[in-house]
Structure 1
Amino acid sequence: MASRIDTTAGRAALDAARAALAAGERPARADYATAVRYLLQLLDEKAPGNSVEVRVPPFGAVQVVQGPRHTRGTPPNVVELDPATWIAVATGSETWAAAVDAGRIHASGTRADLTELLPLRP
């Protein structure tokens, strides 16, 4: 992660993004980006490592989970999902399995199942 997000700012952005999503609206870009990056930061703190790359375009990506280190090209374990899905699974409002079954999570590799790490506790 490039820079650390203050807990208060991260929680405020997450609350604003979740409220907008619950109302069927698109969150303000700054809130959306901060919420996504804050949750990626929490995941990185919970499961530091370099064996799984979690991508939430266009807002962020992080390498997590202990295991074989990836250094070049596409990592062997990749998770990619949109910001709304990331917020939902990271906060527990949707399960990992339900989002995978709905096709909103694209995960490849033997370590790409984050079920045991989610939800996070922001």
Structure 2
Amino acid sequence: MARARIPDDVGRDAVDLAVREAASRDDIATAVRYTLQLLAEHSSGNTLEVRVPPFGAVQCIEGPRHTRGTPPNVIEMDAETWLALATGALSWADAAASGTVTASGQRADLTGHIPVLRLPH
């Protein structure tokens, strides 16, 4: 069964709180899930799994389909790093070089797929 879609107004408000203020854990969770939802919608597929523990994970990007066990292409990071990537505050190249993300597999690259949401300044 598919998860319920987070409405855009709720998701955008949560992202705004999470990146600009001392947000609650619930706001951070909603912001992460919403931006992962946007990634999966804009870059649909099953080649890459993006994980932001403990809040969520999605499969995305077209290519060879993964169905069982540990996916061959995985990116994992904390919520702060993911939200910075998702909103364009951090580039994929900078995140990968800094060591704040772990990426394994030939297709473990978000170049061209982020940011998924730009916030007004």
TM-score, scaled relative to structure 2: 0.92
SS in 2 for 1:116: coil
| Cα distance in 2 between the residues matched to 1:121 and 1:93 | 10
SS in 2 for 1:48: coil
Question: Does residue 1:58 correspond to 2:54, yes or no?
Answer: yes
Q: Per-residue deviation at 1:68?
A: 1.1
Q: Secondary structure at the match of 1:117?
A: coil
State the match for 1:97 in structure 2: 93
Q: What stretches of structure 1 move > 3 A for 4+ residues in a row?
A: none
How far residue 121 of structure 1 moved from its aligned partner, in angstroms, is: 2.6
Residue 69 of structure 2 corresponds to residue 68 of structure 1: no
- 1:19 aligned onto 2:15: no
Compute the displacement of 1:37 (Å).
Answer: 0.4
Distance in 2 separating the partners of 1:102 and 1:121? 22
| RMSD (Å), alpha carbons | 1.1
Supply the distance in 1 between the matched residues of 2:75 and 2:84 (Cα, whole angstroms).
15
Residue identity over aligned pairs, in percent, reads 56
State the SS of the aligned residue for 2:45: strand
What TM-score, normalized to structure 1? 0.91
- The alignment covers a number of residue pairs equal to 117
The runs of 5 or more residues in structure 2 that have no matched partner are none
The corresponding residue for 2:73 is 77
Is there any run of 5+ residues in structure 1 with no aligned partner, and where?
none
SS in 2 for 1:2: coil
